[in-house]
Amino acid sequence: MSARISLDELDHKIIERLGHDARVSNREIGREFDLTEGTIRSRLKRLLDNRVIRVAAVTNANRLRNPILAYLWVEADSAADIEKVAESLASLPEIGFVATTLGRADVLAMTLVENGNELTDFLHQTIDKIPGVRRVRYSLGQNFIKHDYRWCALVD
Amino acid sequence: MRTATKAGKRTRGKAANANQGDGLPALDDVDEQIIAALRKNGRIANRDIAREMGLNEATVRTRLRRLEDASMVRVVAMRDLSAMGFGYLAPVGVQVKGRSAGDVGAEIAELERVITVNVAIGTHDLEIQVVAETLEEMQHLLTGVIAKIDGVERLFPSLALKVFKYNPEWAPL
């Protein structure tokens, strides 16, 4: 995970402001906070360079016909395979979240699918073929009550 | 949560049908390319997107505004969990009793430290993700706060050891 840098009140204000709309110009943020454009620009550069935030487009999941967030709880063949399995899963573009975990499984991966067939295909064609995967259990998140897309992990 | 190209293809392939029911405007190739550019770098100037795509800046500006106004796309700052001090991330299954999963989920969703809540099909009624700055805080949230919400019967927690990837590209907007 990224190295910690200390954040002051202004950093938090900038992050909060960009959490709503990150297309706003540095000049506009500067005007709102009564600061110069240069101050905002250098602060923002520091936040981006230190991987505190990432600015990117998020697409509305409602565009998908029936979005289902599939939680794949993966068990590895052996403890020594866990890290490799996690790396293989993370390299798949369809998967948005991967972590090694304590508790319910060795690795948790998440992917967004539109129906059961798509999930079945993905499990059989892609996941089952990853070396070191022993077993996959899954739960299907159907109704997004809350999904705070402003969180992420900026890993290399 | 899919990549730009793949999501683009999927959406595009279904656009004709999908738009009849849900009233969302169709995306064409130009929209998809603008979104792809903004997925790579959300701060890229309209001018630079225009140059890469061989369009003029006004076209990009108009297109993007239309996408944002229709809530199809939002460009936002995503905060790294650990850089913001949240060293602990727990994906937790919740078993509900005596109350609807939706109601219990809505109450859990009010907690700031809970970043996702899904009504689930499977072993548990809800799948949630909880973040905390310390293990002590995580313990308090799980045992002292969430466990005491009316309708929460049992919690099935796990704890992320190492996050390899967490990159939301799709979200309800």
B104-152 pLDDT, tens digit per residue, is 999 999 999 999 999 998 889 999 999 999 999 999 999 999 999 999 9
pLDDT digits (tens, 9 = 90+) for A67-115: 889 999 999 999 999 999 999 999 999 999 999 999 989 999 999 898 8
B68 interaction partners in chain A (CB closer than 8 Å):
23
Count of other CB atoms within 10 angstroms of residue B137: 17
**pLDDT at site A143:** 82
Q: Is A130 on the interface with B (CB under 8 A)?
A: no
**Residue B170 to residue B173: CA distance in whole angstroms:** 9
Confidence band, pLDDT 50/70/90 cuts, at residue B22: low
Q: Considering chain B, what is the average pLDDT of its residues?
A: 85
Q: B115: buried, middle or exposed (CB in 10 Å: 19+, 13-18, 0-12)?
A: buried
Distance CA B167, CA A56 (A): 10
The whole-number pLDDT of residue A154 equals 73
Domains of chain A: 9-49 (1.10.10), 61-141 (3.30.70.920)
**Domains of chain B and any CATH numbers:** 4-69 (1.10.10.10), 88-157 (3.30.70.920)
pLDDT given for residue B5 in this prediction: 39
pLDDT at B16 (0 to 100): 33
Residue pair A52/B80 in contact by the 8 Å Cβ criterion: yes
Residue B100, pLDDT > 60, answer yes
Q: Residue A139 phi/psi, 5° resolution? A: -125, 150
Residues of B with Cβ-Cβ distance to A139 under 8 angstroms: 93, 120-124, 127
DSSP A64: S
Rg (CA), chain A: 19
Least CB–CB distance from A97: residue in B27, B121, B165: B165
B48 vs A contacts (CB less than 8 Å): none
Which residue is associated with the tokens 């369809």?
A94
The rounded distance, in Å, linking the Cα atoms of A86 and A74 is 9
User: Which residues, numbered 60 to 79 in chain B, qualify as contacts with chain A under a Cβ-Cβ cut-off of 8 Å?
Assistant: 64, 68, 71-79
Tokens 């590895």 correspond to what residue?
A76
Query: Is residue B7 scored above 60 in pLDDT?
Result: no
The per-residue pLDDT for B167 is 83
B148 in A contact zone (CB under 8 Å): no
Q: Is A64 exposed, middle or buried (0-12, 13-18, 19+ CB in 10 A)?
A: buried
Work out the percent of chain B whose per-residue pLDDT is above 90: 66
Predicted pLDDT of residue B12? 29
- Taking every pair of Cα atoms in chain B, the longest distance, rounded to a whole number of angstroms, is 59
Does A126 touch chain B if contact means CB atoms closer than 8 Å? no
- Residues belonging to chain A: 156
In this prediction the ipTM stands at: 0.88
Q: What is the pLDDT confidence band of residue B23, given thresholds at 50, 70 and 90?
A: low
Q: Which residues of B touch A54 (CB under 8 A)?
A: 42, 77-78, 80
Q: pLDDT value at position B13?
A: 31
Short-list B92, B71, B93, CA closest to B170: B71
What chain B residue is nearest to A107 in terms of C-alpha separation?
B160
Q: Which backbone phi and psi does A59 adopt, to 5 degrees?
A: -100, 145
